[in-house]
Amino acid sequence: MTGIDVITHAFIESNIFGPADPIPAEDADFALNKLNRLLDNWNADRRAVYTDVLAGFTLIPTLSPHTIGPGGVWIVAQRPVTIASATLWLSATVKQPIDTEHDTAWYQALDLPLQQAAQPTDLYYEPDWPEGALFFWPVPTSALRVDLQIRTVLTGLTLAGTFSFPPGYEDAITLTLGEALADAYPGSTAPAGLAKAAEKARARIFGVNDATPKLATRDSGMPGGGGGLGYNWQTGMNNR
């Protein structure tokens, strides 16, 4: 399947063109632009992105910040939206986590933001554009390896390019694009069920991508909360 296949199916789903109709070049170009804008919007939504990846980089001693992106010190196709976690390798077998749960206020509150040490313990990420900026603290003085957990980017398509996404994405992208095209072609008579089908297809992939929070209970021996009702199985009533 290619980009033009997805676009053709989206036009058919929205009743703009029939299965046997050729797609005019100007309409195909317009739909491709809509498709890539859709993927770009989804890149800003964590639920639409199917995985994070671990990318390894080498720290540059005394450099702050380290930039990341197409033209950054660390080169990736697109600067990360977020840095979910970071791990510092102290040796080939020993590693330690770096705290990434920081914001601008935390970094600005540092008394010595340019303090140096061999091993950074904290990281503040500033998602500038087109390169993001990683402020390690203390500023590293050793060329150690660091692994960053970054969000995978949904790659844009060309008309002849191969469509390759995990299960569920074909329907979600095709039907959502069909919705968008139906709105852009006022004379179209999109099926009544298109919006609902597109919504269900999106919910399917978003549900798979949603992170399930870890649950924890109190340790044994911890006091319980007071003031609640207790159920008495012998009487079948709540105790007050």
Assess whether 113 and 143 both reside in one domain.
yes
CA gyration radius, the chain: 25
In a domain, 233, yes or no: no
User: How far does the chain reach from its first CA to its final CA, in angstroms?
Assistant: 65
Distance of CA 224 to CAs 37, 71, 132, 145, 218, Å? 52, 55, 46, 45, 9
What is the pLDDT, as a whole number, of residue 233? 47
Assess whether 186 and 173 both reside in one domain.
yes
Q: What is the helix (H) or strand (E) element at residue 27, kind and residue range?
A: helix 25-43
Assess whether 167 and 82 both reside in one domain.
no
CB burial of 29-51 (b: ≥16 within 10 Å; e: otherwise) equals eebbebbbebbeebbeebebbbe
Q: What is the mean pLDDT of the chain?
A: 89
As beta bridge partners, residue 123 has 136
Query: Per-residue pLDDT tens for 115-171?
Result: 999 999 999 999 999 999 999 999 999 999 999 999 888 889 999 999 999 999 999
Q: Are 10 and 179 in contact (CB under 8 A)?
A: no
Q: Is pLDDT of 238 > 70? A: no
Backbone angles phi, psi at 83, to 5 degrees: -110, 110
Q: Are 95 and 117 in contact (CB under 8 A)?
A: no
- Confidence tier at 231 by pLDDT (50, 70, 90): low
d(CA 136, CA 100): 9
What is the pLDDT, as a whole number, of residue 153? 84
Range of the domain at 171: 3-47+156-209
What is the pLDDT, as a whole number, of residue 214? 53
d(CA 240, CA 233): 14
Least confident of 25-29, 90-94, 143-147, 234-238: 234-238
Assess whether 111 and 62 both reside in one domain.
yes
As beta bridge partners, residue 146 has 57, 88
In a domain, 225, yes or no: no
Query: Per-residue pLDDT tens for 193-220?
Result: 999 999 999 999 999 887 655 555 555 5
| Percent of the chain topping pLDDT 90 | 75
Is the pTM higher than 0.85? The answer reads no
The tally of domains found in the chain comes to: 2
Assess whether 73 and 143 both reside in one domain.
yes
In a domain, 229, yes or no: no
Give residue 171's identity as a one-letter amino acid code. D
CB burial of 58-96 (b: ≥16 within 10 Å; e: otherwise) equals ebeeeebbbbbbeebbbebebbbbebbbbebbeeeeeee
In a domain, 16, yes or no: yes
